[in-house]
Amino acid sequence: MVEIRRTPAGLRVKLGEAETRLLTQVADDIDELLAGTAKDVRSSDPLVELTGLDVDESDVVEVPDDPALRRLLPDAYRDDEEAAADFRRYTENTLRGAKRADATVVRQGLASIAALGERVLDGEQADAWLRFLTDARLVIASRLGVETAEDLEAFDYLSRDDPRLMLYGLYEWLTVLLDELLAAVAS
């Protein structure tokens, strides 16, 4: 049961117990994926703490091996490896942090839904949910090997015993959830 409605206070989100648990697990998994190789930027230098930039010129930030992480943290310059490496070195940690913060906002909302049956999201929280759901779909699409619309169409014909069926079902459910949230935001 998914119910998302605009109210004067914000977007009211209601999910069933199983949906809440499932989305919490997705948020936990994506947060763990993003935390995997994030550089700790805590420092005694206030500028480093403020900007997150504690990178010396010899630091190299590798393109992630995991295809899902490559989808979440793509190269900024596809035709210029040096520029892409520089951009990644100065931005990846901040981008990971922002995506992890979105997962935290979603988990906090889900905790409220679990306790109270619903959560009213303000504009910033709704934006975090939208970004998170988009990221979750990207991760799952990557795990399924989906690169194009044609790739996705093939999943409509999976047999009932195909091990990818459950993951595809999750992808489709997240798509519905994202569409309903977008419709509520636009209303």
pLDDT tens sequence across 106-151: 999 999 999 999 999 999 999 999 999 999 999 999 999 998 888 8
Calpha distance 23→140 (Å, rounded): 13
The dihedral through the CA atoms of 183, 32, 168, 143 has a sign that is positive
- Chain centre distance of CA 99: 6
Mean pLDDT (the chain, rounded)? 87
User: Is the confidence at residue 64, as pLDDT, over 80?
Assistant: no
CB-based contact 144:164 (threshold 8 Å)? yes
C-alpha closest to that of 86 among 64, 47, 129, 55: 55
Give the pLDDT of residue 43.
43
- The helix/strand/coil state of 7 is strand
CB-based contact 48:54 (threshold 8 Å)? yes
- As for how many domains the chain has, the answer is 1
- The helix/strand/coil state of 2 is strand
- Please give the model's pTM, rounded to 2 decimal places: 0.84
Q: Is 66 exposed, middle or buried (0-12, 13-18, 19+ CB in 10 A)?
A: middle
What number of residues does the chain have?
187
Parent domain of 17: 2-186
User: Is the confidence at residue 45, as pLDDT, over 70?
Assistant: no
Give backbone dihedrals phi and psi of 10, rounded to 5 degrees, phi first.
Answer: 145, -160
